[in-house]
């Protein structure tokens, strides 16, 4: 059994359901301290964060990720206990196997091998780890990033260990993510008896033309890295449950996944303009789930692509698809942020797993990326 596989199994046994770290970061500290890292635990609320750094010179390349995992779901539906790492048919099963305890193990062993081979390497290496990525993400990476910013610590490159591979290991890296903007729209009418519509005002009918306009709106155009911004309705609530009552209001939940071609403010302003044009009486509450970020092709993407090609023979592709990640926080203090990890087909699912054949190559890609950046 390789050291990377053994460490992945150790991490899986720690039941770190968000926001609990359950000792994962202590295990990391025990491994990093002998390598010359200064390790700092940063507690925020019930979230545990780790900032570890070796060296004081630039450039500083940081490995980032999370020790928390999503809940298991119905345990009885798993073919093996979710927190007992189990190997069958060439795959390692367990909650967090792909998202992202294998990446953390691979990063740790990659750094250990690099430091042992290049004890006097130039630059610095860091780890930025949280137990709050799968949760609200308000006490995790963003807290550490704000702390580092206030200290004046400059991050030059960051590799986030999110599972990005799609069909085969190494085929995709993320050089950005779309932003997320959620709106809760309440359109007000006048409740009344359905047999006397002239005495009521149906908010569903009032809202329909505006909703059509919102869904037909072209918010921006695609560019080299992003698909066009998407507007999607997720929930619609109205009515009393009775078939003879015109409702007094309708609540519509919607979400934008938006590119760097738009901003949260510009989207909000355009939505209000459309609603106002249709003369609606409404309330609208906004939640910004995350800002978009983008790392254009450059030193880090080239170093990582070269490492993937060397290890797998695959010409990887840059992508900005998928949900939000903690990369959005790190990008505020680091000019180049790239995400790379194992195949993501089983993440958050029953019987989450990673192919054993991916684990050592993952470690090697991380180590070779270090070599390409620092040597």
Question: How do residues 19-56 score in pLDDT, each as one tens digit?
Answer: 999 999 999 999 999 999 999 999 999 999 999 999 99
Whole-angstrom distance, CA of residue 375 vs CA of residue 369:
10
Please provide the size of the chain in residues. 375
Per-residue pLDDT band at 146 (split at 50, 70, 90): very high
Per-residue pLDDT band at 140 (split at 50, 70, 90): very high
Please give the class, per CATH, of domain 179-290: alpha beta
66 annotated to bind ligand: yes
Q: Is the pLDDT of residue 326 over 80?
A: yes
Of 61, 91, 155, 109, nearest to 342 (Cα)? Answer: 91
- Predicted confidence at residue 323, as pLDDT, reads 83
Sheet containing strand 91-93, edge to edge, reads 86-88, 91-93, 353-355
Instruction: Write the pLDDT tens digit of every residue in 340-359.
Output: 999 999 999 999 999 999 99
Whole-angstrom distance, CA of residue 349 vs CA of residue 33:
34
- Predicted confidence at residue 283, as pLDDT, reads 98
Is 153 part of the annotated catalytic residue set?
no
Catalytically annotated residue among 68, 112, 132, 311:
68
Catalytically annotated residue among 9, 21, 112, 133:
133
Whole-angstrom distance, CA of residue 64 vs CA of residue 42:
15
Q: What is the mean pLDDT of residues 165-169?
A: 97
Structure tokens at 359: 């684990």
162 annotated to bind ligand: yes
76 annotated to bind ligand: no
What architecture is domain 3-177+292-374? 3-Layer(aba) Sandwich (3.40)
Of 276, 95, 255, 102, nearest to 180 (Cα)? Answer: 255
Q: CA 207 from chain center: how many Å?
A: 33
Average pLDDT, the chain: 97
- Predicted confidence at residue 322, as pLDDT, reads 85
- Predicted confidence at residue 224, as pLDDT, reads 85
- Predicted confidence at residue 123, as pLDDT, reads 98
Of 219, 287, 232, nearest to 259 (Cα)? Answer: 219
Per-residue pLDDT band at 254 (split at 50, 70, 90): very high
Ordered by start, the domain boundaries in the chain are 3-177+292-374, 179-290
249 annotated to bind ligand: no
Whole-angstrom distance, CA of residue 363 vs CA of residue 367:
6
- Predicted confidence at residue 32, as pLDDT, reads 98
Of 360, 281, 348, nearest to 100 (Cα)? Answer: 348
Q: What is the mean pLDDT of residues 252-258?
A: 97
Q: Is the pLDDT of residue 138 over 80?
A: yes
- Predicted confidence at residue 324, as pLDDT, reads 85
Is 112 part of the annotated catalytic residue set?
no
- Sign of the C-alpha dihedral computed for residues 154, 114, 133 and 262 taken in this order: positive
Whole-angstrom distance, CA of residue 47 vs CA of residue 63:
19
- Predicted confidence at residue 1, as pLDDT, reads 84
Q: What is the mean pLDDT of residues 302-326?
A: 95
- Predicted confidence at residue 166, as pLDDT, reads 97
- Predicted confidence at residue 363, as pLDDT, reads 98
Beta-strand runs (E) in the chain:
38-44, 47-54, 60-66, 86-88, 91-93, 124-130, 157-160, 172-174, 176-177, 179-188, 192-193, 230-238, 245-246, 249-258, 282-290, 293-294, 317-319, 336-339, 353-355
- Sign of the C-alpha dihedral computed for residues 63, 64, 68 and 69 taken in this order: negative
Per-residue pLDDT band at 107 (split at 50, 70, 90): very high
Whole-angstrom distance, CA of residue 128 vs CA of residue 116:
21
Residue 280, CB half-sphere, CA atoms under 13 Å: how many?
28
End-to-end CA distance of the chain: 29
If one counts every other C-beta atom within 10 angstroms of the C-beta of residue 186, the result is 18
Of 183, 187, 206, nearest to 251 (Cα)? Answer: 187
Of 331, 320, 338, nearest to 261 (Cα)? Answer: 320
Beta-strand runs (E) in 228-363:
230-238, 245-246, 249-258, 282-290, 293-294, 317-319, 336-339, 353-355
- Predicted confidence at residue 298, as pLDDT, reads 96
Per-residue pLDDT band at 284 (split at 50, 70, 90): very high
Structure tokens at 2: 């390789």
Q: What is the mean pLDDT of residues 203-216?
A: 98
- Predicted confidence at residue 152, as pLDDT, reads 96
Whole-angstrom distance, CA of residue 258 vs CA of residue 84:
39
Cβ neighbours of residue 155 closer than 8 Å, sequence gap 6 or more: 60, 62, 126, 148, 330, 333, 334
Rounded to two decimals, the pTM is: 0.90
Q: Is the pLDDT of residue 222 over 80?
A: no
């Amino acid at each position: 059994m390789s050291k990377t596989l053994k460490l992945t199994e150790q991490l899986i046994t720690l039941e770190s359901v968000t926001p609990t770290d359950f000792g994962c970061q202590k295990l990391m500290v025990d491994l990093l301290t002998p390598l010359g890292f200064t390790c700092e635990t940063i507690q925020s609320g019930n979230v545990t964060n780790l900032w570890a750094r070796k060296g004081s010179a630039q450039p500083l390349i940081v490995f980032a990720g999370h020790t928390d995992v999503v809940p298991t779901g119905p345990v009885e539906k798993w073919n093996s206990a979710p927190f007992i790492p189990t190997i069958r048919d060439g795959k390692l099963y367990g909650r967090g196997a792909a998202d992202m305890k294998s990446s953390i193990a691979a990063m740790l062993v990659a750094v250990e091998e690099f430091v042992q081979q290049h004890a006097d390497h130039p630059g610095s290496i860091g780890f930025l780890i949280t137990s709050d990525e799968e949760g609200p993400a308000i006490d995790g990476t963003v807290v550490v990033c704000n702390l580092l910013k206030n200290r004046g610590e400059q991050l030059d490159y960051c590799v986030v260990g999110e599972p990005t591979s799609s069909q085969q290991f190494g085929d995709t890296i993320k050089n950005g993510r779309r932003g997320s903007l959620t709106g809760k729209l309440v359109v007000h009418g006048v409740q009344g008896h359905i047999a006397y519509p002239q005495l009521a005002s149906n908010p569903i009918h009032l809202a329909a033309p505006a909703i059509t306009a919102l869904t037909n709106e072209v918010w921006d155009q695609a560019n080299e890295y992003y698909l066009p911004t998407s507007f999607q309705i997720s929930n619609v609530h109205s009515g009393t449950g009775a078939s003879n009552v015109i409702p007094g209001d309708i609540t519509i939940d919607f979400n934008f996944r938006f590119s760097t071609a738009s901003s949260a403010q510009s989207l909000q302003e355009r939505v209000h303009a459309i609603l106002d044009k249709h003369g609606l009486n409404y309330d609208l509450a906004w939640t910004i789930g995350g800002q978009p970020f983008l790392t254009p092709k450059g030193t880090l993407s080239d170093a990582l692509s070269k490492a993937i090609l060397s290890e797998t023979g695959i010409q990887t592709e840059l992508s900005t698809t998928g949900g939000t990640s903690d990369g959005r926080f790190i990008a505020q203090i680091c000019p180049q942020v790239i995400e790379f990890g194992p195949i993501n087909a089983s993440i958050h699912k029953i019987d989450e797993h990673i192919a054993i054949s991916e684990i050592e190559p993952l470690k090697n890609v991380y180590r070779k990326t270090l070599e390409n950046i620092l040597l």
